[in-house]
Structure 1
Amino acid sequence: DEYLALRRIISSERESEGASTKNPPSTKKNSRKKDPKMARALRQANIRGRKKNGKLKKGWSQGKIMTTAHRIKRRM
């Protein structure tokens, strides 16, 4: 009985301190907006890293395409 009472007190103190688990912050509208420059950069990077049949060229990965696209976007 004493143990359960102590557990209730501790949990109520934690809640009053604001130590309860918080929801993660929602994504900002800016990060979800369409980015036309990034779309154009991705098109260019995909042209560089893919064959005519759509498969990746040797030495290319989806990560490398994204890195290249970011680099292209920075130079725009």
Structure 2
Amino acid sequence: MSDGRANVFVDSDELETMEPATWRLVVETMPRSGAANMAVDQAIAEACAAGDSPPTVRFYAWRPPAVSLGRLQPIADI
């Protein structure tokens, strides 16, 4: 039975031919609302998918405090 979560498998031969990625680190010191943080995350994800941005790790703060759920994460899992 599926719980709605995606499982991604990569063939080991494919891993051997992949080039290492250069990552971008973003550390934001100004807190944003939950909606603003999610909008920035979406823009970064879309830019990465389009090949316009490197893979990105982003650290940020919330104001006011908020809860962020994954797209397929049921609130009952919290």
- Shared fold (TM-score greater than 0.5)? no
Q: With a CA cutoff of 8 Å and minimum separation of 6, indicate the structure with the bigger relative contact order.
A: 2
Structure holding more strand per residue = 2
Greater radius of gyration (CA): 1
Instruction: Name the TM-score, length of structure 1 as normaliser.
Output: 0.29
Instruction: Name the TM-score, length of structure 2 as normaliser.
Output: 0.29
Structure holding more helix per residue = 1
